[in-house]
A and B are shown apart, each in its own frame.
Chain A
């Protein structure tokens, strides 16, 4: 069965807590680079929470916008990689082959959402932090690009489990780390090919929109617009 993995992000529910960023770091062996490197704008986060200000002080209000990889159907990053290190996989996801990457960083330049990150160094996990590394993923070496994969290791595991049990994947079998963690439940993940899945129903919401849709990238991450008014 062909899947159309997608993510819905309800901006009405997002509180900007950043739990998704932490969960992603823990799940995907993402290095913590420290204050000095972060000050040089080299954060390795695969999902970031943009914070914008609306209005002027003292009425200023923070607006949060979590941005993972959009998993574009027509991905600008895939086109420009000279070595096919980033490509469209059978599930329609932008997959990244670290071993193939030679580090031209062109994909990162061509990504309008700037979600791709680069391994500036060989990052080290000092003891006992190395104990927390996930064995499902590689630890990337210096000089390669990486980015959000929609927790592809969890998608693979769910597929294997379903195959062992001789059934199709059910809605809710795949939950990426950020979605699992999100305290207010702003994130939702699922299969748009399944007409009865929660995400298919949720995305009928008229609040839906996609980021920079005019660029024609056809993103798989759909946002639900923030409402204004009483009680918000």
Chain B
């Protein structure tokens, strides 16, 4: 808090050098290092490889993958669930924390919202990638065509397409509206083509009283609206499976437990992204151990919830011994044992005890261990949901296992690279730190002396917009 000498009772913004703060927060936009070019180059190359392999698969046929007769869905569909799951981070961090006035969210929210948007873009491509005839995907679009045929709205795949599209539009709008004051700030500080670029994007935002009031109303409304969408999206993704007559898939627990798993992996993803942003753009002063501590607490809760859901799912099948479902779960101890162990160890055994320790939560490098392990564990979980149920269908005569070939691995590596590339480009051209929200937080923060110590106190006036006048 450099700049003007602090006076007791002043809010923190009053003795903050705003120009310096802006420079610190906008490092990603202002400085371009060779590492950024290298990262974009690598991500671009992997993405290109993924696209080439996808073209090869589309032109040759799905036979080049590892799919077979009972296992018609595999790595692609598991990855779809995984990517859509990751997208649930931004919504939780931004919307729920905004509504509950958790002010610590300010430095985390933009990065998390961007993650939502880009994971959805990647996840939304997979339903097209996995088609046998990708070039006919428009048959599933509801538009009046000469074929005079409407898509089959009874199909969970149609619900899925609509849910993902709605969520993508919603989260992009949420991301963009929240970014407008920061874009205006960038416009005021930049020159040349950047100034034109930001002028167009900031929609004439000048920071007048009326504009701030509308901005606050809009962002609160979006926050309220996006939560039911997020919950419904992963419920609907789960219904792609739960609605089917497939033992192991057909289960009422799927919807809530997919949502929990999604938020779980989403927060883990946010922790990883935040740690990378902190390091890459030198945001140590903004993204403090406090943020990782709070995210760690959320993760710890989700670990417990996830464990509980899995336990109840197993318990009912184990007690019931319905032979069809029992065969599916038995295969977890057979060919799918490595996946099963990965899931249990990475999702619960490693993260739960670690996240219980404050020392781990408050250390940026240590908290990466449970976060990365959860992302791996959740990928294993998704594979375990999709594959064994198909591999152990009702008829034992056709049972077969599945292992992906280099084709699926390449295409999905391309998908991951696409996410990295989009994120890097976003961080370069858009404010990755929510500057206005961070300033707002400083504005609300005052030092209070209680007894012998001075503590930060955050007070928020009802009718917040008045404060910005």
Contacts and interface: CB of A to CB of B under 8 A. Distances in A.
Interface of A: 37, 40-43, 48, 50-52, 65, 67, 76, 79-84, 100-106, 108-110, 112-114, 117-122, 141-145, 212, 215, 217
Given A37-B63, A41-B70, A80-B244, A101 B390 contact: no
A101 B140 CA distance: 10
24 contacts: A40-B68, A50-B395, A52-B396, A76-B245, A79-B154, A80-B155, A80-B243, A81-B155, A84-B152, A101-B132, A103-B132, A104-B130, A105-B67, A105-B73, A105-B132, A106-B155, A106-B157, A109-B72, A112-B393, A112-B395, A118-B62, A120-B61, A142-B60, A143-B133
B63 A121 contact: yes
A103 B133 contact: yes
B221 interface: no
Contact of A79 (B133, B155, B161): B155
Contacts of A50: 395, 397-398
B72 A83 contact: no
Given A41-B398, A103-B131, A114 B62 contact: no
B397 A83 contact: no
Given A41-B400, A119-B132, 14 more contacts: A80-B154, A83-B149, A106-B155, A106-B157, A106-B240, A108-B69, A114-B394, A117-B69, A118-B72, A122-B61, A143-B131, A212-B394, A215-B245, A217-B245
Interface string B377-411: 00000000000001001111110100000000000
A119 B131 CA distance: 12
A142 B132 contact: yes
Contacts of A109: 72-73, 244, 246, 390
Contacts, number: 134
Contacts of B132: 101-105, 118-119, 142-145
Interface SS of chain B: loop
Name which of A48, A76, A83 has the most chain B CB atoms within 10 A of its CB.
Answer: A83
Interface in B55-89: 60-63, 67-70, 72-73
In the complex, which range does the number of interface residues on chain B fall in? 35 or more
Given A80-B244, A82-B140, A104-B157, A120 B63 contact: yes
Interface in B194-250: 240, 243-246
A71 B393 CA distance: 19
Interface in B239-295: 240, 243-246
Contacts of B151: 82-84
B158 interface: yes
B393 A144 contact: no
Name which of B63, B131, B137, B154 has the most chain A CB atoms within 10 A of its CB.
Answer: B63
Nearest to A87: B152
A108 to B, nearest CB: 5
Contacts of A104: 127, 130-132, 157
A122 B59 CA distance: 10
B397 A52 contact: yes
B397 A51 contact: yes
A142 B62 contact: yes
Interface in B427-459: none
B156 interface: yes
B72 A105 contact: yes
A76 B393 CA distance: 15
A220 B218 CA distance: 57
Nearest to B137: A102
B139 interface: yes
B136 interface: yes
B293 to A, nearest CB: 43
Contacts of B161: 82
Contacts of A143: 61-62, 131-133
A112 B154 CA distance: 19
Nearest to B157: A82
A80 B157 contact: yes
Contact of A42 (B68, B133, B149, B157): B68
A43 B63 CA distance: 12
Contact of A114 (B130, B244, B395): B395
Contacts of B395: 50, 67, 112-114
Contacts of B157: 80, 82, 104, 106
B245 A42 contact: no
A80 B244 CA distance: 8
